[in-house]
A and B are shown apart, each in its own frame.
Chain A
């Protein structure tokens, strides 16, 4: 019996050593200009991209055992970093550790990024340039102060934090969260929930078919907030002193508002419901339209959301 256990242990050890030997550690760097453009592709695993003060692009981490290699090419202005993988790797293999390449990429803070993954998660911090991300299933997080953030995802969750520039996110089923943002945000999902919190928004456009939408923030200028859903509910929290023209419309959902007149059903077009009012003379428009989703508007600080009238 003891012999059997010892043999098993040896076999496990041998397998572990073999797997470790197959892994390739990466440690590469090249000098780069402060506003370098970096294109990054990694199908499976994770990408951590960090902007810093160094005048170089560096890649560290671990390549998947079965990966064909890492391409790291470019001059000071333009870089390409790509994990090459066998063609027969299936999409379902993203959870398998043998297929995952875990990379940390450091770039000058002024860099702009184009990142593409299939299942690999992406975390970006400290990058000030333009950030574009495309992924199928990978979770995406971006924090810092990039000029703009554009994310296209299918199922991956998207979190954008403290970005003060333009944010444009398109997702199918992945939930989208934009927190601490300012200026402009444009988010479209089919079933993914949308959660937007920020201050001094100029223009916010949120569209979802079935995802719930939650917005909390302050606004400025003569822009607008536009929300459209089919069945997703909408909850909107605004400052009590907001200056805006409100128009909230639902066909078969309910509307509850702690501001403006009481919403009423249109007698001629029951169950159509609409409420319009302005809190000041302003060009800032707040428009919420749903088909069956409930709409709740309340002032920030109110503890309990009122139940929508139906």
Chain B
């Protein structure tokens, strides 16, 4: 088995002989597991910071949006696949408890199983890991969750800025992305070593945030064009 093959299957029993023999792959596998553990230690719910809104653009631009390009870099792909796993896990954890779409309504059902071996549900009472505890990701994961949460709330506040027909269109498109995320997530769970699927999942999550950001900003046209 080559290093490339082992990297795709590092949690599979078939990769064990290679990992035992290859120090580089073994180190990278350890990195991945450490990241996964850190991601799993996320809290059950995350309160939105009060001053986040104005920082969202910068965070998304500088951190989250850059991730897929980084994932493409062959030399770092294994480590960054771990980063991808952690992002997915963190976003998944956020699904469990944060307010989705309509304030007051909590998305409690997370039908898909664990993603890349990381549980979607997180034990309560765990401390929020500092960004330093997830060194590869920095604050990107937290920014993603914060952005999604804040944008959902902001969009809800601005729904009256749109005509009912436009609101229905936006809702339909958000559901389209949510459905895509669920479908890809289920596929990743079935094929956890598939980096293309992992990248697709991250990209689709980012697209959801980008859509929320785009529509929310467009809603402000109402106050400007008067």
* Interchain CB contact under 8 A, B177 and A85: no
Tell me the A residues contacting B by CB distance below 8 Å.
41-43, 82, 84-85, 87, 90-92, 94, 116-118, 134-137, 152-155, 170, 172-173, 188, 190-191, 207, 209-210, 228, 230-231, 249, 251, 269, 272, 274, 289, 291-292
Indicate if the CB atoms of B226 and A85 lie closer than 8 Å. Answer: yes
A residues in contact with B162, CB < 8 Å: 91, 136, 154
- In the bound assembly, the distance between CA atoms of A243 and B45 in angstroms comes to 51
Q: From A228, which residue of chain B is reached at the shortest CB distance?
A: B203
Kindly list chain B residues whose C-beta atoms are within 8 Å of the C-beta of A153.
218
> Would you call A91 and B163 a contact (CB within 8 A)?
yes
Q: Are A118 and B200 within 8 A (Cβ)?
A: no
Chain A nearest CB from B161 CB (Å) reads 7
Residue among B170, B176, B197, B210 making CB contact with A154, cutoff 8 Å: B170
Given contacts A118-B222, A209-B177, contact A269 B194 (CB under 8 A): yes
Tell whether, in the assembled complex, residue A136 and residue B183 are in contact, meaning their CB atoms are under 8 Å apart: no
A291 in contact with B226 (CB, 8 Å): no
Would B196 and A251 count as touching, CB distance under 8 A? Answer: yes
Tell whether, in the assembled complex, residue B221 and residue A118 are in contact, meaning their CB atoms are under 8 Å apart.
yes
Q: A118-B221, A172-B173 are in contact. Are A230 and B180 (CB under 8 A)?
A: yes
- Max chain A CB contacts within 10 Å: which of B164, B177, B221? B221
Classify chain B: how many residues form its interface, as a range. 35 or more
Partner of A209, one of B166, B180, B221: B180
Q: Which of A43, A90, A251, A272 has the most CB of B within 10 A?
A: A251
Q: What residues make up the interface of B, taking CB atoms closer than 8 Å to A?
A: 161-166, 169-170, 172-173, 176-177, 180, 183-184, 187, 191, 194, 196-197, 200, 203-204, 207, 210-211, 214-215, 217-218, 221-222, 224-226
The 10 A-B pairs of least Cβ separation, nearest first, read A91-B163, A190-B173, A230-B180, A41-B225, A92-B163, A43-B225, A116-B225, A210-B176, A172-B173, A173-B169
B180 closest partner in A (C-beta): A230
Cβ contacts under 8 Å, A94 to chain B = 163
Contact yes or no, A91 B161, CB < 8 A: yes
Chain A residues contacting B225 (CB-CB under 8 Å) are: 41-43, 82, 85, 116-118
Contact status A172-B180, CB under 8 Å: no
Complex contacts, B172 vs chain A, CB 8 Å: 173, 191
A304 to B129, CA, bound (A): 56
Whether A209 pairs with B204 at a CB distance below 8 angstroms is yes
On whether the beta carbons of A190 and B176 are closer than 8 Å, the reply is yes
| Given A118-B222, A228-B203, A291-B180, CB of A251 within 8 Å of CB of B169 | no
